[in-house]
Structure 1
C-alpha cells in the first residue's frame, strides 16, 4: 500500500509545472499530508518553541507534532532539554499538552519517575536486578539558536542548519531573546493545508488589499512589484524606496548590525531567509502607529530605528524589533487544518501597563493572523474545487513561492516520493 501511495504522490510531484502553484492533490490528499508530516516535520529541522517558554528550572512545555509529543524543559542545572513525551515503561504520555511546572517527570500511569535531565530515577515493582540506566527518556536532537529552539526527530538531522545557526546567532544577539518573556500567545486554527499557510506568508502581493493594520508599518514594495504596471509617480516612489533600502542597509551594517538578505531556499535541506526590513511610518515597530509598544527595549538594544529583522523557515516566521518580537510557529493538524501559534515577546523585566500596553503590542499581528486565516481558508476551498488548475506565480511578487514549491518537491523526491 505504501508503494502505491508513493507512486501516486510521485505522479503529482511530476505534474507540477515550473512557476506554477502545486497540483490540488498536494494540498488536500490525506496520504500526501501523512508524507508531509514524515518528511518535513520529522526529518527536517523545525522551530518548536523558545527558551523563554521555560524560564525557570522545572518549567516544562509540551508541543505535539503529528503523533509525536515533545517536552521542552529546563533542568536543575538551568539547561534546556528536549525529550520525547513517552514513558519508557509502556509508552504512556507523561505530561499533557501545554505548560506545567514539575520537580520531576512522573508518569501518571505507573509512577515511573524521571529527573529533569530525563534519567530514570524510580521504577516501582521492577525488581532489584532492573537496570534503570538504559531507560532514560529518549532525547530529541535540538539546537537553541539565539533563544529559538529548533528540533529534528530524525536520527540523521540535516547538517546544513549550521548556516542558519551561524547567520542568526549574530543577528539575534542584540535582542537577547533568551531573556525575554511571552507577553501574549494566540493559537489560531486555519482551515487550510500547511503549505498554503506558508505560501501566504511568503508573499505580500495580497498585503495592501487585505492587511490595513500591517501596512501602516510594513512596506509591501519590499516583496516585489511590476514596474510596468505602476504609474510614473508610483514608479518614482518605488525607485526612491529601493534607494533608501540600499542606504539604510549600508548604514545599519556599518554600525555593526547585519542587515542584507541571506537566503537558503533551494538546493538545500534547511530552508530559511532573513533580512532587516525597513519599518514604514514612524519606523519603530509593527504597531498601529509604527511607534514602539514597549519603552523597555530588548537585550542590548538602545535604538528604535533598526527596522525589523525578519526570519522565516518552512514552519515559522519571526519579526525582531527593538522593543518586541513576534514569533509564529506552524503545526500541521490534518490535510485541511493548520495551527498557527503566535507569541509576542518583550524584555523579561517589562511590566504590562507600565512599560508596554498589551493592546498596542498585539493589535497588528492579531488582526493580520485572523485575516490570513480567512485567506488560507479561501485558498484551500479553491484547491478542493474540481475547477482548480494550478495558476502562475507572479514573477515580480511571488518568486519565493516558486522557490518554496521547488524546494518542497525536491525534498519529497529526496525521501523516496
Structure 2
C-alpha cells in the first residue's frame, strides 16, 4: 500500500506580528514573556510548529505486546492509533475513518483483529489497508482509501511519532547515540506495572521547565531526594556548593568507570538540548543511600532485575527529549513520562512504570512501593507549576533571570524552543 501523510507545512503556517515579535525579542538567560504561557494564539502556534513538526514520545512498545494490541494518543486535535500488526511490526495511523471522518478507536488501549469504524463498519487491516466498504459502487477504489500513516520511530522500545509530512531527519543520529544506553534495559521484555495520568493547570512549557532543573528539589521533593542527588541535573560550581559538587563529580567519575568497564554500560553525559532539531540529554548517575533504585529507601522495588542485569546498584540512566519527555532507567524498573498539552493553561502528564515481564506483583514487587516516589513527586510538581501559572497572570510578572548555577538546562529548553519557532516561522 502506498503510504500517505498529512502535512503540517511550516512555510504555510502564519503567525501574527505579535507572536513573531515575542519570539524575536526573547531575552536570553531569562524566563519567557507571559504570553508564551497564557496566550491561546501562542498555544496554537506551539501545536503546529512544535508538537506538529517534531518527534513526540508517545509510548513504550510493551504497552502493545501482542498483534492487534493498540493505544491511542491525542495531540491537540489529532488522534493517532499505534498498533502492532500481525507481523509484529508497529505502525501508526491517523485515528480517522476515510469515509466521513469518524474516530475509529475510541478507547485509550485495546486489542482488535481489524480496525472497524463504529459508524458504517468500514474495515481496515492492521497495515492500514481498507478491506471492506459496503455500498460504495463499482468505481470505488479501496486501494486509495487506506488509513493515513503517521511517521513512527522505535528507539530501543520507546515509540516516537511525527505528524509532519517531512519529519526531522536527525532522529537517526539521536537513535545511534542513545541505543547503547537504553538497549541493556531490554524494554521489549518489560510490562506495564502502572500508568497514571494527571492534569496540571498550567502551560506545557512550565511542566517541561520544572523538569529541567533540580533547584527546587531539596525544598520540595523529600521522597525523590531520598535516592537522587540533585547535583546531577544542571548544577554548576558556585561559591556555596563548590566543595560538595567536586565530591559529587568524583563519585560520578568513579561509578561511571565501574559501570562502563565492568558492565559495558555507557554512562557519560551526552547533552544536545539545544542547537539541533531533535534535542536530548542523557547520563547514568549514581543514587544515594543503597544506590539501587528511585524508591524511598533507595533499594530495588522489584526483585526481578531487567535485562541480563545481575547487579542492583547500577544507578539511574536519565534521558530527556525535547519537547515532551523524560525517563529514568534503573536495574529493576523504568519510569517514563510524557507531556501532552490540552490547552494554553492545561497539560496532561502520563507516568508509566515498567518492570520485568516475568515479575509478579505481590511476589517480586509491591505496587505502592514501586510508585511511591514519583506519585509524590508528580503531585508536588503539579502544585509548583500551578502556582507559577497563577503568578504569571499578574500585572507584576516580568521574566526573571535564570540561575547560572542551577538552571542552565531550563535556559537550554527555552533556547531550543525559540530556535525551533524561529526556524519554522521563517521557513
Q: TM-score, structure 2 length as denominator?
A: 0.94
1:149 corresponds in structure 2 to 159
2:340 corresponds in structure 1 to 331
What is the Cα deviation at residue 3 of structure 1?
A: 8.7
What is the Cα deviation at residue 15 of structure 1?
A: 2.6
Task: Please say if 1:361 is aligned against 2:408.
Answer: no
Counterpart selection for 2:221 from 204, 211, 215: 211
1:220 corresponds in structure 2 to 230
Task: Please say if 1:261 is aligned against 2:265.
Answer: no
Counterpart selection for 2:312 from 301, 304, 316: 304
Work out the CA distance in 2 between the residues paired with 1:245 and 1:60: 40
1:124-182 CA deviation, whole Å, 9 max, x = no partner? Answer: 00113321111111111110101000110111110111122012211111111012111
What is the Cα deviation at residue 316 of structure 1?
A: 0.4
What is the Cα deviation at residue 23 of structure 1?
A: 0.5
1:380 corresponds in structure 2 to 389
2:9 corresponds in structure 1 to none
What is the Cα deviation at residue 225 of structure 1?
A: 4.8
Task: Please say if 1:175 is aligned against 2:185.
Answer: yes
What is the Cα deviation at residue 5 of structure 1?
A: 4.2
What is the Cα deviation at residue 410 of structure 1?
A: 1.0
Work out the CA distance in 1 between the residues paired with 2:250 and 2:113: 56
1:317 corresponds in structure 2 to 326
Task: Please say if 1:100 is aligned against 2:128.
Answer: no
1:369-399 CA deviation, whole Å, 9 max, x = no partner? Answer: 0100000101111111111000000001000
What is the Cα deviation at residue 81 of structure 1?
A: 1.1
What is the Cα deviation at residue 117 of structure 1?
A: 1.2
SS at match of 1:227: coil
1:178-216 CA deviation, whole Å, 9 max, x = no partner? Answer: 121110011010111000000000000000000000001
1:21 corresponds in structure 2 to 31
Unaligned runs of 5+ in 2: 1-11
Q: Is the 8 A contact 2:76 2:342 kept in 1?
A: yes
1:244 corresponds in structure 2 to 251
Distance 1:325 1:173, change over 3 A: same
Q: Is the 8 A contact 2:15 2:45 kept in 1?
A: no
2:195 corresponds in structure 1 to 185
2:48 corresponds in structure 1 to 38
What is the Cα deviation at residue 250 of structure 1?
A: 2.1
What is the Cα deviation at residue 4 of structure 1?
A: 8.1
Work out the CA distance in 1 between the residues paired with 2:340 and 2:107: 14
Distance 1:4 1:43, change over 3 A: closer
2:296 corresponds in structure 1 to 288
Q: Larger deviation: 282-291 or 126-135?
A: 126-135
Q: TM-score, structure 1 length as denominator?
A: 0.96
2:402 corresponds in structure 1 to 393
Count of paired positions:
412
Task: Please say if 1:70 is aligned against 2:83.
Answer: no
What is the Cα deviation at residue 276 of structure 1?
A: 0.4
SS at match of 2:193: strand
Q: Is the 8 A contact 1:83 1:118 kept in 2?
A: yes
SS at match of 1:333: strand
Unaligned runs of 5+ in 1: none
SS at match of 1:13: helix
Work out the CA distance in 2 between the residues paired with 1:239 and 1:174: 29
Q: Larger deviation: 163-172 or 283-292?
A: 163-172
Q: Is the 8 A contact 1:297 1:322 kept in 2?
A: yes
Q: Is the 8 A contact 2:14 2:425 kept in 1?
A: no
1:209-256 CA deviation, whole Å, 9 max, x = no partner? Answer: 0000000101012231553124xxxx5333222111111112222231
Q: Is the 8 A contact 2:59 2:160 kept in 1?
A: yes
